Each structure stands twice: as structure tokens, then as C-alpha cells.
Amino acid sequence: MTPILAAILSTYLLILLGVALKSREVVGAEFWQAMQKLNYHVFLPVLFAYSFATSEVFAEVGMIGFVVAIIGTLVAGAAITLIWVRRNDTRPDLELPLVEGAIRSNVPLGSTMAFTLLGSTGLTLFLGAAATYLISVILIGAFVVNRSGLSEVEETEGAFAAAIRLIARNPIVGGAVVGIVLNVTGIGIADGLSSILQIVGMAALPIGVLATGAHLDLRAAQSAIEIFRANVTADLIIKLAILPVIATVFTFIFGVDGSARVIIILLAATPAVAPRFTLARDSETWADLPQGLAAAGTVAGLVTLPLVLWILV
């Protein structure tokens, strides 16, 4: 329990630092938006590319079981959310944000906890899990859009075509693909360049966690809870409690153990993040819902993460 608690508390200290820097206006709000954008387009893709290109850990892990367990967890979480939505007659336009809130994870936050808990091996495995998660979430979103019958994407394109376009244009997915190609082909990265890429990529962790604190919108959380109390409560229970249990079951089914099992459970238990990529259009009817779910989940995660990992790992 002590290593788990230490990893989570140290990461949350960075979140609190981000909150403090934002509240004290050490830098302007534009800074945090710019850094988050830079993280998404530069630091995270470089981190994925470097980690995948230089790592040998995937050769030691049963990758088929690892990937299938993650996909199964996300699909099951989405299915449970949709069943809950249907049984409670929730508006169709809420299906996508609720499903995304139940299965999305804050990648910089989870990566930092994985690195703090399990070192470079944990970080690389979490990035591998995150790459699978990113593609799966977009495709699940396309299914939900089709199911809801809402015109979230242009009729001429279709939800799944739009999803493929989002995946192809996602810089993190691009970084992961480059790293895999460099690893599989044996090209690798030159020593001097490798050190620079490692430094640049690792910057994604503190920047991402600090930005999580800076963008922690408690007003949006309060608004979401007041307007969509039952939906938010159900979504947080699914995300922070049920999804990690599902992940644990799938790791046993597909024979995933050791550090890989810990990482899959951690990915499932990591609080959601407000989507940067989504098939939904902005809607005033639930403008605060994604941001509110992310903020409420991040705050609740300080309690649920150590408990879930202590019980399930």
C-alpha cells in the first residue's frame, strides 16, 4: 500500500501545484492552454515515439492478451454506461459525453503514476495501454454516435469514417506508430538524438499533470452535478470503481500478470479527462458535463485510486 499511496500522493501534489499556479496567476490562462496544446502535439507524441522505439519490454509481455484485455474493458464499460442510460431514459444527446466520461483516462496523469510506481517499465507499458485506449475510445465513440441517431458528424462522411480520420490525424497515435516502426525494423534511434528525444518526451509528464491542476474546473463539476446529478454519480461509479474491477477480470481471463496487469488496472482507474478529440459537436445543453466529469473524477480519484489499486493489485 505504501508505494501505491506514495505514487498517487506525489502525483496529486503536482496537480495541487498546478491549481496554485493558476489561482495565483503566476502565468496567464493563455499559457496553460498553449502548454496543453504543445503537450498534445509535441511532447506526448515524442514520448510515445521514443518509448516504443527504444523499449524491449513489449517482447516480454503477451501483447495479444494485453491489448484484448484493454479493449474488452473499454467495450464493457461503454456497454454498461449505455445500458444505464437506456434504463433511465437519459436524453440521447447525453449518451456520447457519458460514455466518454466513463471510459476516458487522463494519459499524462496515469503515465506519471505508472512511472512513479514502476519506473520506466511501468511508463512504457502504460503508454502501450494508452495507445490501444486512444484508438478504442474513438471507435467506441463512433458506435455511440451511430446508435444515438444524432447528426454529430456530416451525413456524407459517416461516424466511422470520421473516427478513422480522427485516428489518422491524432499526433499521439502518429508518434506511437513511428516508434513501433523504428523498433520493429531495427532502425532505432541514434544515441545523441535518443537522449534529446527522451528529455523532450519526459517533459510531457509534469506539464500534463500541472495542466490538469490548472484546468481543474470545480465550477463545471458543481454545475454538472446540479444539472445531471444521477448521470454524473453513475458515470463516476462506473469509471472509478466498476471499470477497474472489469479490467481485473479481463487480465485474469487473458492471462495478463505482473506489471502489465497493474498497468491495465491503473489505466481503468485513472480519472477521465475532458476530450480533446471527439465526434460530438459543442452543445450548450451539456457544455459543462465533460469538464465537470473530469474535474469531479480527478478530485474523487485521490480517494478511489489508492483504494482500488490496494484492493485489486
pLDDT attached to residue 285 = 52
Question: Which amino acid is located at 174 in the chain?
Answer: G
CATH of 2-312, one of 2.40.10.10, 3.90.1720.10, 2.40.260.10, 1.20.1530.20: 1.20.1530.20
DSSP secondary structure code for residue 240 in this structure: I
- What does residue 279 show for φ and ψ, rounded to 5 degrees? -90, 0
- Give the separation between CA 297 and CA 231, rounded to whole angstroms: 13
Cα Rg, the chain, nearest whole Å: 19
Q: Which residue has the cell 496544446?
A: 37
pLDDT attached to residue 151 = 47
**What tens digit of pLDDT does each residue of 132-172 get?**
999 999 999 888 887 766 544 444 467 788 889 889 999 99
Which residues, given as ranges, of the chain have pLDDT below 70?
1, 89-90, 148-157, 276-287
User: What residue segments make up the domains of the chain, in order of their start?
Assistant: 2-312
Q: Which residue has the cell 507499458?
A: 125
- The helix/strand/coil state of 188 is coil
pLDDT attached to residue 96 = 86
With CA atoms as reference, report the closest residue to 134 among 230, 9, 267.
Answer: 267
pLDDT attached to residue 175 = 96
pLDDT attached to residue 93 = 75
pLDDT attached to residue 154 = 46
How close are the terminal C-alpha atoms of the chain, in Å?
Answer: 10
Residues whose CB is less than 8 angstroms from the CB of residue 90 and which lie 6 or more positions away in sequence, other chains included:
84, 98, 231
